[in-house]
């Protein structure tokens, strides 16, 4: 593919990532963990792009985290071996896909929080003569997956006696806290969650079983969870690309991704209409932020259109002009798109496939 020279020549709607900014974000996270006991295992659910996962591993990441088997398949296909699926994998079809990855030599670990699921995983991995690493998922406050610490011992024991499975550790995601804007509250609550997670480790180890991996955290708590005694891995995802929602937390990472759109109409007084709608960028965390157009803002998105409103009588941009936004939620925005244009400032240097887009299985 012949690349356009500048980002303003990219046909729209389109996503760009600024390579120097991306590198600074990855380096900042790598630097933080350089002298720590814990390591970062970046979450692939955000970038879904193999080139970014490779950069994170080159910067010293422990491996890659993902949410779904189909994301792990993309990673293994790209030659990435050390993968944590930080989620429950249920049902024979998915477990057999997992078995195929293990047979290819991938070291895949995953979360469990139920006895039935452990028995199902054991039956299929034992039959296939593969060994699957297992982390007991602990509920640390987010009402989603995971058991209470006091229930973890029983599941750990079941894993220990299950052929095909290997008890590797525990995980607990404080997802109810990572986006809290009050830094003091965030720290206090994240520590409570980690105390709860580590209490599970203590209970399991009291019974003579070894808990090697203790995994938790996200971008909003990496510097709290990442230094909590006993935590060995942090599953941060958004830090590499960032968005306006995470930006409110002032974590020191920079927004690397912008969304490009073209003005297609100014016929309706008070509105500038672009070609970038909610099928291209997500809005569940609020409107993407219009960049560099004073007294104007993105007011709402319809399916295929963006509606910019402005103060003053004359629209500040004309039909054919390109405009740029910072996405409000980078994870779901990347999941809408197939391509990520790589820029250095205004210059286009590459185009990466968002290879795990839509991999929800």
List residues binding a copy of itself (CB under 8 A): 11-14, 45, 67-68, 87-91, 93-94, 113-114, 116-117, 120, 137, 139, 143-147, 151, 175, 262-268, 270-271, 273, 275-280, 283-284, 302-305, 307, 318-320, 331-332, 335-338, 357-358, 360-361
User: Least distance in Å: CB of 37 to a copy of itself?
Assistant: 29
CA distance 125 to 127: 5
Q: Contact 10/4 with Cβ under 8 angstroms? A: yes
What φ, ψ does residue 248 adopt, rounded to 5°?
A: -65, -15
Q: How many helices (H) and strands (E) does the chain have?
A: 10, 17
Handedness of CA 163, 166, 169, 174 (dihedral sign): negative
On whether the CB atoms of residues 48 and 332 are closer than 8 A, the answer is no
Dihedral, 240, 243, 245, 250 alpha carbons, nearest 10: 60
82, β-bridge pairs: 107
CB of 68 to a copy of itself, least distance (A): 7
Q: Which is nearer to a copy of itself, 120 or 350 (CB)?
A: 120
Dihedral sign for Cα atoms in the order 47, 50, 56, 60: positive
Nearer to a copy of itself, 297 or 332 (CB): 332
Shortest Cβ 48–a copy of itself spacing (Å): 10
> Nearest approach, Cβ of 9 to a copy of itself (angstroms)?
8
Per the DSSP assignment, residues forming a β-bridge with 263 are 274
CB of 202 to a copy of itself, least distance (A): 20
CB nearer to a copy of itself: pick between 119 and 210: 119
CA nearest to 216, candidates 80, 40, 345: 40
Compute CA distances 95 → 66, 268, 355, whole Å: 15, 54, 22
Kindly list the strands in the beta sheet with 64-66, ordered across the sheet, starting from the edge strand earlier in the chain. Answer: 39-40, 233-234, 213-216, 165-172, 132-137, 107-112, 82-85, 64-66
* Residue entry with tokens 């790598």: 30
Q: Which is nearer to a copy of itself, 93 or 207 (CB)?
A: 93
CB of 114 to a copy of itself, least distance (A): 5
Q: Which is nearer to a copy of itself, 212 or 338 (CB)?
A: 338
- Whichever of 35 and 284 has its CB closer to a copy of itself, that residue is 284
Min separation Cβ 338 and a copy of itself, Å? 6
Helix (H) or strand (E) holding 72: helix 69-77
Query: Of the two residues 128 and 227, which places its CB atom closer to a copy of itself in the complex?
Result: 128
β-pairing, 257-265 vs 271-274, is antiparallel
In terms of DSSP bridges, do strands 347-353 and 306-310 run parallel, antiparallel, or are they unpaired? unpaired
Shortest Cβ distance from residue 147 to a copy of itself (Å)? 5
Helix 149-160 × helix 115-127 angle, to 10°: 20
**Residue with the two structure tokens 């290879």:** 355
Choose between 21 and 306: whose C-beta lies nearer to a copy of itself: 306
The nearest distance, CB 27 to a copy of itself, in angstroms, is: 26
**Which residue is associated with the tokens 């520590």?**
191
Closest to a copy of itself by CB, 63 vs 146, is: 146
Residue with Cβ nearer a copy of itself (26 or 67) = 67
Give the nearest distance from C-beta 253 to a copy of itself in angstroms.
19
């Amino acid at each position: 593919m012949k690349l356009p020279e500048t980002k303003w020549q990219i046909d729209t709607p389109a996503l760009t990532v600024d390579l120097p900014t991306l590198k600074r974000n990855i380096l900042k996270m790598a630097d933080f963990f350089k002298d720590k006991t814990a390591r970062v295992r970046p979450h692939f659910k955000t970038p879904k792009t193999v080139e970014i996962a490779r950069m994170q591993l080159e910067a010293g990441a422990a491996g890659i985290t993902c949410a779904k088997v189909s994301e792990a398949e993309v990673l293994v296909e790209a030659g990435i071996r050390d993968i944590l699926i930080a989620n429950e994998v249920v049902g024979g079809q998915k477990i057999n896909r997992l078995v195929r990855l293990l047979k290819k030599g991938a070291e895949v670990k995953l979360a469990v929080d139920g006895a039935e699921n452990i028995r199902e995983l054991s039956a299929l991995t034992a039959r296939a003569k593969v060994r699957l690493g297992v982390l007991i998922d602990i509920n640390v406050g987010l009402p989603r997956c995971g058991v209470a610490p006091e229930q973890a011992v029983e599941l750990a024991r079941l894993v220990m006696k299950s052929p095909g499975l290997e008890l590797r550790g525990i995980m607990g995601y404080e997802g109810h806290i990572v986006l809290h804007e009050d830094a003091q509250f965030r720290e206090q609550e994240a520590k409570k969650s980690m105390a709860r997670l580590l209490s599970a480790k203590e209970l399991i180890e009291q019974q003579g079983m070894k808990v090697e991996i203790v995994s938790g955290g996200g971008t909003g708590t990496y510097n709290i969870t990442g230094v909590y005694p006993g935590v060995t891995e942090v599953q941060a995802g958004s830090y590499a690309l960032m968005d306006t929602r995470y930006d409110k937390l002032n974590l020191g990472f920079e927004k690397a991704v912008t969304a490009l759109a073209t003005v297609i109409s100014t016929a309706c007084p008070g509105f500038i209409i672009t070609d970038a709608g909610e099928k291209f960028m997500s809005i569940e965390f609020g409107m993407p932020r219009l960049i560099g157009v004073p007294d104007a803002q993105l007011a709402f998105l319809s399916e295929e259109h963006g509606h910019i409103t402005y103060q003053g009588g004359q629209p500040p941009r004309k039909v054919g002009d390109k405009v740029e936004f910072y996405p409000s939620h980078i994870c779901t925005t990347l999941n809408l798109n197939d391509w990520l244009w790589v820029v250095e400032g205004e210059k286009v240097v590459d185009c990466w496939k968002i290879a795990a887009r839509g991999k929800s299985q």
